[in-house]
């Protein structure tokens, strides 16, 4: 694999597509990454798009170096393990979405809270008087708010404001991928970049900067008559 751009682009795209997959819809206009035509065709097939992307990444890394030779073989094995981790994370997220709290539990909690809120005033009115109104309002608000928060946590991947910021997570991964490859992933595909030459140039530039920063010895002081004073 001479050009790492496909793997890096697919990795960044995986972050966007996984979040959209968990929300139940794929929106290509929200993924600012240039992919190859065959990658777009793969996404257009629908289904479990993140799984298709992860499988494509695995196919790409199979071309790293001659098979069976080190260090290419070790790098390939390590990257395949990373792809497996991506798939495991995807599966864990899907289980959260597809395994809601059983409906009887939710209904029982709602009924219990409603019954408690209706009977609480009769218990407090004799001892608290008019304060009962304020006390019951605050207690019922707190309890029903806790129940509502539980429903929100049940599915943290929705596109509502109180859910996890999946788009922000994907943008962070996108930025990290661009730092790795050295140029924006919004660029069109070009010839493979000569990374070795770029690294050599950077090293030479750093050496030149270090030489320029080295302080020079100050000139010896001079006598007012123009005679140089040299110390032993």
Q: Which residues contact 194 (CB under 8 A, 6 or more apart)?
A: none
Phi, psi (5° rounding) for residue 201?
-60, -40
Q: Which residues contact 121 (CB under 8 A, 6 or more apart)?
A: 132, 133, 136
Residue whose entry in the numeric block shows the structure tokens 């097939």: 45
Distance separating alpha carbons of residues 10 and 28, to the nearest angstrom? 13
Q: Which residues contact 223 (CB under 8 A, 6 or more apart)?
A: 229
Nearest-10 Cα torsion for 207, 213, 214, 215? 170
Is the CB of residue 76 less than 8 Å from the CB of residue 61? yes
Q: How confident is the model at residue 194 (pLDDT cuts 50, 70, 90)?
A: very low
Q: Is the pTM of this model over 0.75?
A: no
Q: What is the pLDDT of residues 153-190, one digit of tens each?
A: 888 888 888 888 998 999 999 999 888 888 787 766 55
Token readout for 138 is 């605050």
Distance separating alpha carbons of residues 14 and 90, to the nearest angstrom? 10
Is the CB of residue 159 less than 8 Å from the CB of residue 148? no
In angstroms, the Cα distances linking 148 to 110, 134, 169, 218 are: 10, 21, 25, 74
Q: What is the pLDDT of residues 2-27, one digit of tens each?
A: 677 888 889 999 999 999 899 888 87
As a whole-number percent, the residues of the chain with pLDDT over 90 amount to: 24
Q: What is the pLDDT of residues 89-128, one digit of tens each?
A: 999 999 988 887 788 888 888 899 999 999 999 988 888 8
Distance separating alpha carbons of residues 215 and 231, to the nearest angstrom? 20
Closest CA to 8 of 227, 128, 184, 230: 184
Distance separating alpha carbons of residues 107 and 148, to the nearest angstrom? 12
């Amino acid at each position: 694999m001479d050009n790492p751009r496909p793997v890096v682009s697919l990795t960044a795209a995986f972050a966007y597509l996984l979040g959209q997959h968990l929300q139940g819809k794929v929106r290509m206009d929200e993924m600012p990454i240039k992919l190859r035509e065959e990658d777009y065709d793969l996404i257009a097939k629908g289904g479990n798009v993140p799984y298709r992307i992860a499988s494509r990444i695995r196919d790409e890394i199979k071309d790293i170096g001659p098979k069976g030779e080190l260090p290419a073989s070790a790098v390939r094995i390590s990257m395949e393990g990373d792809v497996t981790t991506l798939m495991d994370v995807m599966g864990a997220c899907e289980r959260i979405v597809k395994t809601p709290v059983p409906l009887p539990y939710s209904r029982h909690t709602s009924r219990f809270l409603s019954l408690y809120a209706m009977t609480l005033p009769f218990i407090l009115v004799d001892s608290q008087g008019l304060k009962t109104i304020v006390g019951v309002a605050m207690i019922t608000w707190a309890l029903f708010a806790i129940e509502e928060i539980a429903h929100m946590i049940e599915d943290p991947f929705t596109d509502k404001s109180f859910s996890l910021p999946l788009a922000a997570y994907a943008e962070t991964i996108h930025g990290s991928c661009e730092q790795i490859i050295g140029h924006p992933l919004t660029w069109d595909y070009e010839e493979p970049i000569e990374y070795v030459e770029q690294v050599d140039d950077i090293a030479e530039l750093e050496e030149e900067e270090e030489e320029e920063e080295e302080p020079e010895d100050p000139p010896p002081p001079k006598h007012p008559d123009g005679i140089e004073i040299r110390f032993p």
